[in-house]
């Protein structure tokens, strides 16, 4: 049981590519699926989550309609059919560290990736680029366990973690978006440009629907596992 909880930061799954290898990168998920325009392998996470949403957006579904469509049998079929079109060009990843490694090695021409992993590679001097169009973002929470003897200290930690100064400092160290909007005003343009919550990056973003996946995820993951081995 939680005594209380608070959203601390926003991270996202994005499209990434190597700026040294692609001067003109993909602009959207339809480009990610376009193997004529961008020949080569693509890296996607081995699982149904994110991929079914990306597949529908590549097929022209608006972000705000994705979960409504995916909740229907016809919508799920549409997502899997779209994934099948790309299947022969997919290199699967299972750990967050893999997409930047695949990109730098030239194993793939583009990849879905956690934005924090791409940020870390950029800080190491890698010329990896992010296309933010139709990113899928999610929130991380801190909670206090009911009955903790450290409740007062925990509240102090939450207050610090949720403060504009605390969140701004966090964003400077890893490119996760503050949930306290006042933190954005404390950040310079360079830091802002790498955050999922920066206005330019957040346009057309899709919030990961945890309720949908809690409800339908088991069936979709089973279907994905079966589809992946075919």
pLDDT at 221 over 80: yes
Length of the chain counted residue by residue: 230
pLDDT at 207 over 90: yes
pLDDT at 2 over 60: no
Q: What is the mean pLDDT of residues 106-133?
A: 97
pLDDT at 1 over 90: no
Going from the C-alpha of 109 to that of each of 34, 39, 49, 96, the distances in angstroms are 12, 8, 21, 17
170-183 pLDDT, tens per residue?
Answer: 999 999 999 998 99
Quick one: pLDDT band at residue 5, thresholds 50, 70, 90? Answer: confident
Question: Please, what is the average pLDDT of the chain?
Answer: 95
Q: How many Å apart are CA 16 and CA 114, to the nearest integer? A: 9
The whole-number pLDDT of residue 59 equals 98
- In the chain the first and final C-alpha atoms are separated, in Å, by 42
The whole-number pLDDT of residue 4 equals 59
Q: What would the two tokens of residue 64 be?
A: 């705000």
Q: Which residues contact 125 (CB under 8 A, 6 or more apart)?
A: none
Q: What is the mean pLDDT of residues 69-74?
A: 98
Domain 2-229, CATH homologous superfamily name and number: Periplasmic binding protein-like II (3.40.190.10)
The whole-number pLDDT of residue 114 equals 98
Q: Provide φ and ψ at 109, rounded to 5°.
A: -90, -25
Query: So where are the chain's domains?
Result: 2-229
């Amino acid at each position: 049981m939680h005594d209380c909880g608070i959203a601390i930061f926003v991270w996202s799954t994005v499209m990434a590519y190597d700026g040294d290898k692609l001067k003109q990168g993909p602009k959207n998920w339809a480009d990610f699926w376009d193997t004529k325009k961008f020949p080569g392998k693509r890296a996607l996470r081995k699982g149904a989550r994110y991929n079914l949403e990306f597949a529908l957006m590549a097929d022209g579904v608006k972000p705000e309609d994705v979960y409504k469509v995916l909740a229907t049998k016809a919508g799920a079929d549409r997502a899997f059919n779209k994934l099948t079109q790309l299947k022969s060009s997919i290199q699967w990843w299972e750990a967050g560290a893999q997409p930047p490694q695949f990109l730098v090695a030239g194993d793939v021409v583009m990849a879905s990736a956690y934005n924090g992993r791409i940020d870390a590679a950029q800080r190491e001097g890698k010329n990896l680029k992010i296309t933010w169009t139709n990113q899928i973002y999610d929130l991380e929470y801190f909670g206090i366990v009911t009955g903790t003897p450290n409740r007062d200290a925990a509240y102090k930690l939450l207050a610090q973690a949720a403060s504009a100064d605390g969140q701004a400092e966090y964003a400077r160290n890893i490119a996760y978006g503050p949930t306290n909007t006042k933190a954005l005003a404390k950040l310079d343009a360079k830091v802002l440009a790498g955050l999922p919550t920066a206005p330019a990056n957040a346009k057309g973003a899709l919030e990961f629907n945890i309720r949908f996946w809690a409800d339908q995820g088991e069936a979709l993951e089973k279907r994905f596992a079966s589809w992946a081995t075919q």
